[in-house]
Chains A and B, each alone.
Chain A
Amino acid sequence: MIPAAFDYVRPADLGEALRILKEREGEAKVLSGGYSLLPLLKLRLAQPALLVDIQALGGLDGISRTDDDIRIGGRATHRRILDDEGLAEVLPILRDAAAGIGDPQIRNWGTIGGSVAHADPASDWPAVLQALHATIVLRSAGGERVVPARGFFVDPFQTGIEPTEILTEIRIPLPAPRSGGSYQKLERRAGDFSTVGAAVQMTLGEDGRVTQLGIGLTAVADAPFAATHAEDALRGAHPGDELFREAAGAASRQSRPADDSHGPAEYKRAMVTEMTFRALRAAFGRALA
């Protein structure tokens, strides 16, 4: 319940924050909303010497749009994403996901950047970002990298982020016309982490075939991953329930769930099939609408 002692600093701008992270490399942890980090500190599972609170860094919590992409600041809260009507219209999958993360208080303070960098293997954003083929912007004192979400999530709580970096932005390609997405989360109770989370974003061509597709899964492997076998099965095909079921089965076979308090692996594999199927169907319905 009580964290071990640490020092705390609240830099006024991004440059100062990145300088501190470089100086104190390996000793410092970034504090964004705090709703992922504080629980770890209280269990003493993490004992950093220094917390670098980035709440004062301006310009990192907004949502904007360019000609090519939607840009969400790393400090944007789940609440902000959930409430954004413009986002909900163009990418309803984001609202689906934000609505199910934790509870209202968690959504008020937890940030997408903090959550993504924390990379709980059952958290929701990593699956969604991989379905969206999103990219992740990482800043350090040495510069900026933009990395694909696919490949960023390596192991439980391990990503491609360096200890000297801050996740400043998420970039999501603007969906083409005739696109739809959905996030289907199976949980034991409101506010729970996913038993299975399935994210689907698809675009249909004029002939009705699937031209773009992304399927992301969480809670059923060491890290959230893209169900590439299922994507391959559907890309270029005419969507329909039977094909969705087949693809969902492929997603299930690509999963590596573990037995735990959410259920046995056999159950989770079956639920990957079901939730992926539901996400495919719902995404398809939105693409047609």
Chain B
Amino acid sequence: MATVYESQPPTTTPEVGGMGHARKRVEDARFIRGAGHYIEDINLPGQLWLDIVRSPYAHARIKGIDDSAAMKVPGVAAVITGKALETYKLAWMPTIAGDTQMVLPVDTVMYQSQEVAAVIATSRYAAADGVAAVEVDYEPLEVVVDPYKAMDPSSPVLRPDRGEGKQNNHIWHWESGNRAATDAALASSKTRVKEHMYIPRIHVASIETCGIVADWDSVNGTMTVHMTSQAPHAIRTVLALVAGGAGLPIPEHKIRVITHDIGGGFGGKVPVYPGYVLAIAASFLTGKPVKWIEDRSENLQADSFARDYHIDAELGVSAEGRITALKVKTLADHGAFDSQAAPSKFPAGLFNVITGSYDFKDAHVEVDGVYTNKPPGGVAYRCSFRVTEAVHAIERLVDIAANEIGMDPAEFRMKNFIRPEQFPYTSPTGWEYDSGNYHAALQKAMDMIDYPALRKEQAEKRARGELMGIGIASFTEIVGAGPSHDFDIIGLKMNDGAELRVHPTGKALLRIGSQTQGQGHETTYAQIVAEELGIPAADVKVEYGDTDTAPYGLGTYGSRSTPVSGAATAVASRKVREKARAIAAHLLEAAPDDLEWTNGKFTVKGSPDRSKSIQDIAFAAYTNFPAGMEMGLEAVDYYDPPNFTYPFGSYICVVDIDKATGEVKIRRFVAVDDCGNIINPMIVDGQIHGGLAMGFAPAMLEAINYDELGNNLAGTFMDYLLPSAVETPRWETGKTITPSPHHPLGAKGVGESATVGAPPAIANAVVDALWHLGVRHIDIPLTPPKIWAILHEKGIA
């Protein structure tokens, strides 16, 4: 049953297990036995439980909170309200987007399921009973759910707290590119295609929800926080700043954040949620550990949402079928607080990579953020900092343009792709793409699926009235945030640390600032060390997640682990190798420059019998090192990436539509990805399979919708539909390999590529099936009722 994995040829043996080897995962040993250590598994002696009272209204004044019945419930120890937090200056907290957010409302609730009060009890069950017994008297207020209406000056001001000059719901305006040149280029284009696209709210819904066990030790004055966090160091610093701002005696060196095993993150476990702050505050106040694990309904209704972009985009095309310009205007619905994780100068993330894989000169992109009565968030669900939104828009527009001018969409792409010799390529909005070969990836996908045969079949089926569609998406991703000159999150530069220490017996310990939530870092980072030093991967222990011991890092999201933390690991390994060279020279009584490194050992040039292995050198680092040299064999590197990396790919999807019911069946889906040099091809494939499923889901099944009163219409797994194994297509994958010229390993990162590329491939396929009926665009999700309504309107159903 051996699967053949594609990668660049390994240069190390399987025993060493460096890059390119499909090394089996180290972490699985515990997961397959049910011996993982997730937040819900953490139980501390004497711990209390926290549960949360949530608002049924999307916008309401709190007239009163009566906790008398709750306090009589056996086991309930306290009920915390916003008014109580206010006395500790904790009712509001800063967000990582530079806004402020309520921990608990003092007088006004801003979205349905917002936290209104916290109940502390001696057991989970008692806390739930306490929550059910709290009585809140609400006065409903006018609800604002339409972001366009929210922008209108006549709408209620949702955030009067923002002060003078900001008494409206407009959060920020952001622009990129050249408006005048773009307008001129569009005006002189032979063809202009314009489309309005809405990318609805979706929810990461990792199978594990969010949770925390906060443990204040009043004797030692330390706050240990066990939590589900994709960025533990950033959380530690934020907690220190918040505590400082509130005048609490919890300085950063006395805060320890420990993440254990995380059951999926996908960006949903980056923000600081009120539940976390409440647990920490409660622990501080009671002197006992406090545990909060949110229910699935709370998770779906109050945190971790993604997307919600209303995009107006226009593409210009010349008479020769060449793209001339792109103009984009977007309204970003951020809910009641701007709490998204985005680099501070980039409130729309990396959205302006929207010029995509195509060679043209002029573009202008503008985004406006707006408040509504919905939960906060926006950057999650493997969006790669809004690249999912960007790629969906450009790939849809490209298909519309190709069809408008009567050119095959594959041919149109080939004609307009940035050519391999143009790299590094500076895009119209200023991104320098490091490397790419878009033609090769698309050609490979077309060969794998036999594209010409499919077009022929489609023509035959169309003549018989059958609806078959073929959709392509050729995406360019941008990952690895990010270079320190422009990128930070609340000021913290996005440079990650790696600390490598080699022991006397040649085994090693690697500590990193990234935070796996299933990506297999214990396995893959050891492969990086094996690649650079020849120490077998099995001899390298990888640690992360404890802020007391792991070097500072901004965590794992936006596919940044391999590009930043992986690079730091490689550079730290090379620093170790340089010290090893000096020790080897000492052992071999040769000049350091006379030594040659082949994986795992230094050999004197011209004397193949005179060599020292890395293991010999490690032992000597503690027992026989040159005079004047420090003992030991270790190094630290904080990597400042010189640029992002740009993975890319071409996906082709084939659909058949049931004319009677509107159901769309994905017959085939071919995904060709290029993430540069591959560390572990088995894990890369796994990331792609999972990413494709999380692209399929928003394309076909998932959306969070609100009615006009702000009620969430998909607040449980009964209606927020994750794909099961039955609907999920059988993915076919392939690779091309175009290394990154600036990354130490030539690797690019891949975690979100498939979530970026899959939805437009599917949307393009469905529209392609219906184009001949006059359909140009359909917003995702492509549900049967939506498709049926179109067919019905066209007289087909």
Contact = CB atoms under 8 A, between A and B. Distances in A.
A15 B4 CA distance: 64
B727 A2 contact: no
Contacts of A270: 788, 792, 797
A274 B661 contact: yes
A261 B786 CA distance: 12
A263 B701 contact: no
B119 to A, nearest CB: 12
B721 A2 contact: no
Contacts of B727: 189-190
Interface in B674-729: 701, 713-714, 718-719, 721, 723-724, 726-727
Contacts of B719: 261
Interface string A265-283: 0110011001000000000
A191 B722 CA distance: 11
A192 B719 CA distance: 9
Contacts of B788: 267, 270-271
Interface in B764-796: 783-785, 788-789, 792
B730 to A, nearest CB: 15
Contacts of B785: 262-264, 267
B128 A188 contact: no
B295 interface: yes
A4 interface: yes
Interface string A198-227: 000000000000000000000000000000
A105 to B, nearest CB: 12
A188 to B, nearest CB: 6
Contact of B783 (A44, A188, A192): A188
Contacts of B792: 270
B707 to A, nearest CB: 10
B132 interface: yes
A289 interface: no
Contacts of B125: 2
Contacts of A44: 132
Contacts, number: 52
Interface in A3-36: 4-5
Contacts of A5: 129
Interface in B428-469: none
A158 B263 CA distance: 40
A114 to B, nearest CB: 18
B132 A188 contact: no
B591 interface: no
B724 A191 contact: yes
B124 interface: yes
B724 A261 contact: no
A261 B713 contact: yes
Contacts of B784: 188, 263, 267
Dominant SS among interface residues on chain A: loop
B132 A190 contact: no
Given A4-B132, A270-B788, A189 B723 contact: yes
Contact of A1 (B128, B714, B721, B726): B128
A93 B553 CA distance: 59
Dominant SS among interface residues on chain B: loop
Contacts of A167: none
Nearest to A261: B719
A274 B295 contact: no
A196 to B, nearest CB: 9
B660 interface: yes
A251 B71 CA distance: 55
Contact of B724 (A1, A189, A263): A189
Nearest to B718: A193
A5 B719 CA distance: 27
A44 B724 CA distance: 27
Interface string B255-297: 0000000000000000000000000000000000000000111
Nearest to B662: A267
Nearest to A264: B785
A3 to B, nearest CB: 9
B701 A188 contact: yes
Contacts of A262: 785
Given A188-B783, A189-B701, A189-B721, A267 B124 contact: no
Which of A1, A262, A263 has the most B CB atoms < 10 Å from its CB? A1
Contact of B129 (A4, A191, A261): A4
Contacts of B129: 2, 4-5
A7 to B, nearest CB: 15
A270 B790 CA distance: 13
A234 interface: no
Interface in A163-201: 186, 188-193
A265 to B, nearest CB: 10
Nearest to A189: B721
B721 A263 contact: no
17 contacts: A2-B125, A4-B132, A5-B129, A103-B724, A188-B701, A188-B721, A188-B784, A189-B724, A189-B726, A190-B724, A191-B724, A261-B713, A261-B714, A263-B783, A267-B788, A270-B788, A274-B660
Q: Which 3 A-B pairs have the closest CB atoms?
A: A263-B785, A2-B128, A190-B726
Given A261-B719, A274-B661, 20 more contacts: A2-B128, A44-B132, A103-B724, A188-B701, A188-B784, A189-B701, A189-B721, A189-B724, A189-B726, A189-B727, A190-B727, A193-B718, A267-B784, A267-B789, A270-B788, A270-B792, A270-B797, A271-B661, A271-B788, A274-B660
Interface of A: 1-2, 4-5, 44, 103, 186, 188-193, 261-264, 266-267, 270-271, 274
